Amino acid sequence: MTTALIDVHAHFVTERYVAAARAAGHDRPDGMPGWPEWSPEAHLALMDESGIATSMLSVSSPGVHFGDDTAARELAREVNEFAIEVVRAHPGRFGHLASLPLPDIDGSLTEIAYALDVLGSDGVAIETNAHGRYLGDDHYVPVWAELDRRGAAVFVHPTSPPHAEAISVGLPRPMLEFLFDTARSATDLLFAGVFERYPGIRWIFTHGGGVLPLLADRIHLFRTAFAGNQQERTTSEQLRGLWFDMAGTPFPHQIPALEAAFGLDRLVYGSDYCWTPQAAVAAQIAGIDAADRPGEPTWRTLTTRHTRKLFPALNRDSE
């Protein structure tokens, strides 16, 4: 019997959210051609066709903060409440990672409490930077302290870096810039000592860590030879403590690179639907199934086992 996947990297949009983003100038978000369509029915159909048992819903880039704290707080609350209604309408099929109005600290702390204590969200979703302020900045310390206290899952989704239009040479930023911004954000957290100071946070990074597996040794060199960093654990030890999803193009190169750098103990599945079209999700899953190794757990079995460890509530839902 084929093991059902659990998708930790699944997105949704609403008409109100898209309208707010467009009003803020995001007609072609992150250089993409336009906005995807989404509905619970279409998402469930994809899941049934692809053997996905449960999908964790989150809002993707460009997030919910478009420059005004009050508007961002209202939009975060709206999309979070919408997603929870979808979760409740389809028991066991969806989970939810709540949007936060970063870089607004007070608004984010309020939304953390509401999402986790009232709505029952499974964790929170943030972006690799908030208007150019990366996650190692001391500005975020109150948020990390609260999430650490709660032992929360924090899904870190890439977004466009500062001056993206100048450096992306007209290409969609998810193709290259997202992968570099994932590495940039994780490195910023590492150098700032956030991973060591807040060990209770369950960090999830996307797309196999982007270019992070290829740069881990170089990052460690600069930490030790030039930065004089005296953190207790090595770069590799800290990065091995992160969770990584398989969204994008996991085979033939991305996941083997991740395995060589950090191992597979915290690998989970991600589709990136609805920003990744249905046909591309189907092709990705076919590639994952074709890459199974003889005598080893299938990628489905391995990632589903890990995801149930990452989100223990899924085990209660399946009982």
- Region 225-232: mean pLDDT is 70
- Region 160-185: mean pLDDT is 96
CA dihedral 15, 17, 18, 23 (to 10 degrees): 120
Judged against a pLDDT cut of 60, whether residue 191 lies above it is answered with: yes
Alpha helices (runs of H) in 251-298, residue ranges in sequence order: 255-262, 278-290
- Region 226-240: mean pLDDT is 80
The total of other beta-carbon atoms located within 10 Å of residue 184's CB is 22
- Judge contact between 100 and 138, C-beta under 8 A: no
The sign of the dihedral angle between the CA atoms of 308, 209, 241, 104 is: negative
CATH number where 50 lies: 3.20.20.140
Average confidence score pLDDT of the chain: 95
Query: What does the alpha-carbon distance between residue 83 and residue 95 come to, in Å, rounded to a whole number?
Result: 8
Q: Is 263 exposed, middle or buried, given 0-12, 13-18 or 19+ CB atoms closer than 10 A?
A: exposed
Structure tokens at 235: 């770069």
Judged against a pLDDT cut of 70, whether residue 34 lies above it is answered with: yes
Judged against a pLDDT cut of 50, whether residue 222 lies above it is answered with: yes
pLDDT for res 223: 87
Q: Which domain holds residue 295?
A: 5-318
Confidence band, pLDDT 50/70/90 cuts, at residue 226: confident
Confidence band, pLDDT 50/70/90 cuts, at residue 227: low
- Region 140-163: mean pLDDT is 98
230 vs 28 pLDDT, higher one: 28
Q: Which residues contact 214 (CB under 8 A, 6 or more apart)?
A: 257, 261
Per-residue pLDDT reduced to its tens digit, 89-109 = 999 999 999 999 999 999 999
pLDDT for res 319: 47
Per-residue pLDDT reduced to its tens digit, 271-301 = 999 999 999 999 999 999 999 988 899 999 9
pLDDT for res 201: 98
- Judge contact between 62 and 275, C-beta under 8 A: no
Judged against a pLDDT cut of 80, whether residue 172 lies above it is answered with: yes
pLDDT for res 294: 87
- Judge contact between 58 and 157, C-beta under 8 A: yes
Number of domains the chain contains:
1
Confidence band, pLDDT 50/70/90 cuts, at residue 12: very high
- Of the chain, the percentage scoring pLDDT greater than 70 comes to 97
Query: What global pTM score does this model have?
Result: 0.96
Per-residue pLDDT reduced to its tens digit, 97-140 = 999 999 999 999 999 999 999 999 999 999 999 999 999 999 99
- Region 149-173: mean pLDDT is 96
- Region 28-57: mean pLDDT is 97
Which among 267, 193, 194 has a CA at the least distance from the CA of 231?
A: 193
pLDDT for res 224: 85
Judged against a pLDDT cut of 80, whether residue 231 lies above it is answered with: no
pLDDT for res 228: 65
**Which 3 state secondary structure label does DSSP give 243?**
strand
What's the half-sphere exposure (Cβ side, CA atoms, 13 Å) at 283? 7
235 vs 73 pLDDT, higher one: 73
Confidence band, pLDDT 50/70/90 cuts, at residue 317: low
Judged against a pLDDT cut of 50, whether residue 23 lies above it is answered with: yes
